[in-house]
Amino acid sequence: MKGTKLGVKSSLCYGIGAIGEGIGYNVFFSFFTYFLTTQAGIAPAIAGVISGIAVLWDAITDPIIGSWSDNTRNPKGRRRPFIMTGSILFGVAVALLFLNVNISGALKPVYYIAVNMLYWLAMTTCVIPHISLGSELTEDFDERTKLRTYAVTFMGIGTLIAVGTPLLLVGAYEKLLGSASAGWALAGVTYGALTALAYQICCRALKGKEPENPMLKSDAPELSKKEMLSQFFANAKKAFENKALVRLVLITFFVNIVVTLGSGLAIYLFKYVFVFSDEQSSLVYTLQGVLVIAAAVVMGIAATKLDKKLVMSAGIVLYMLSYMVIIIFPVAWSTIVVSVILFALGNSGYWTMIYAMSYDASLVQQLKSGERPDGLYTSLIGLFMKFGNALGSVVVGVGLQLIGFSEAVTEQSAGVAAGIRWLYAVAPAVVLAIGLIFSVTYPLTRKRYTELSEQAKLVENGGELDALVLEGL
């Protein structure tokens, strides 16, 4: 499908897989720390460290999965087999996360660390091949943006499910089963099943659409996992000579600190600052999810009319403002509504652009070395995403501990509520301001990409590369 225009059906089928990412990713970041501190009886700082350790583990598995996916000789394809197997593990892991195990002492944190590690490994096995698959379906600049727009739109649907329904679903299950712990456990099973189902539908619908595995034509001996990892580090060193990629991974690092901070603290903000009921909190989450879906379409269209770099930078600015209004304006519904609107636009700007921009950045390496390592670039983006997630998780837990949040009481003091408000509003705005610096200095514009594409076609047809087109890249 190289260079072709994708039909709506293929784009829809690809996008459906992102529902699984939206559910699995957001139910974790929005409610796992809250579950640990209010149901499992784990102190906030320990809860943050649990997530931080597991995410760092995932940072190790990212390059393995990325390289393995790039180099596999599976005749069924490079991406779909990973997704189909990984999605089953992903669903099981999501279910296990919200199981309040009846063990005491140090064993309980160990359990959640182990399950967390399984969760991140399974998620990586789905997400990196799914994103890489998008780069193989088309090489057209605008078609890739459209494909990621579909994916982010469907991820918004998954997000809507993951953040808008858990409190209500847990409450319904609690009434049915007679305990909050049982309610959370059954909710975990529900979201785990939906996560796996979305990826399975995507893979089965795209059967026959994935390009033939190019590694089947390779005469080189198949690499062991150790050799793949060694090759990854060698290729990563080469990849970081690409200035466009460097900017993207730094943007990703800082934005994903905020993704974890904002998602993890939102439920505390709603419960203890705005004093929302479960129904009111679910209403806010639902509004946010609906707006994220709409915003993904808006940002995708904007990128086809303007430039991906501009949309990314504008999105980060809006993302910053979504947090700043929480501290600037009074505690009121109108403040939340404004914040959610800005959040939807800013968050969608980042998620719609980041992988579409990484697809473009890999063209630079293709011209430099003749290789097109989309899986490598996707895994590097994922690697720095996890570094950001890990740091953000620790900040959430330690921050709650420092401001005096106690897992042992149901009513928090006014001082704790004020601390939650400042932690939620100020820390993300500062971190995003740093990310914005790298966004505005991103060097690969639409004009530069067009020049690179023309050179790639020239070289493919036997012409000679004009080295000047790579200047500054």
pLDDT at 6 over 70: no
pLDDT at 9 over 60: yes
Q: Residues 6 or more apart from 291 whose CB is under 8 A from it? A: 340, 341, 343, 344
Grade residue 217 by pLDDT with cuts at 50, 70 and 90. Answer: low
Tokens found for residue 19: 């529902």
Give residue 2's pLDDT. 47
Give residue 3's pLDDT. 47
Closest CA to 39 of 130, 103, 100, 92: 100
Is residue 336 included in any domain, yes or no? yes
Q: Taking residues 165-181, report their average pLDDT.
A: 90
Give residue 327's pLDDT. 94
Q: Taking residues 405-423, report their average pLDDT.
A: 84
Residue written as tokens 């993951």? 162
Judged on CB neighbours under 10 Å (0-12, 13-18, 19+), 434 is middle
Look up the pTM and report it: 0.76
Is residue 121 included in any domain, yes or no? yes
Domain span including residue 402 = 8-208+230-456
Grade residue 221 by pLDDT with cuts at 50, 70 and 90. Answer: low
pLDDT at 1 over 50: no
Q: Which of 298-312, 331-345, 400-414 has the highest mean pLDDT?
A: 331-345
Q: Which of 55-59, 355-359, 364-368, 391-395 has the highest mean pLDDT?
A: 391-395
Among 34-38, 88-92, 339-343, 370-374, the least confident range: 370-374
Q: In the chain, count of helices (H) and strands (E)?
A: 15, 0
Is residue 360 included in any domain, yes or no? yes
Give residue 106's pLDDT. 77
Is residue 251 included in any domain, yes or no? yes
Grade residue 133 by pLDDT with cuts at 50, 70 and 90. Answer: confident
pLDDT at 112 over 70: yes
Q: Which of 131-140, 186-195, 366-375 has the highest mean pLDDT?
A: 186-195
Judged on CB neighbours under 10 Å (0-12, 13-18, 19+), 105 is exposed
Residues of the chain above pLDDT 90, percent = 27
Give residue 53's pLDDT. 79
Tell me how far apart the alpha carbons of residues 102 and 45 are, in angstroms, rounded to a whole number: 21
Grade residue 472 by pLDDT with cuts at 50, 70 and 90. Answer: low
Is residue 463 included in any domain, yes or no? no
Is residue 220 included in any domain, yes or no? no
Give residue 176's pLDDT. 92
Is residue 3 included in any domain, yes or no? no
Judged on CB neighbours under 10 Å (0-12, 13-18, 19+), 190 is buried
Number of domains the chain contains: 1
- The mean pLDDT of the chain is 83
CATH no. for residue 234? 1.20.1250.20
Q: What is the pLDDT of residues 441-460, one digit of tens each?
A: 988 877 887 777 777 777 77
Is residue 467 included in any domain, yes or no? no
Angle ∠(186,187,189) on CA atoms, nearest 5: 65
Contact yes or no for 432/320 (Cβ under 8 A): yes
Tokens found for residue 288: 């946010």
Give residue 56's pLDDT. 75
Grade residue 316 by pLDDT with cuts at 50, 70 and 90. Answer: very high
pLDDT at 339 over 80: yes
Give residue 214's pLDDT. 60
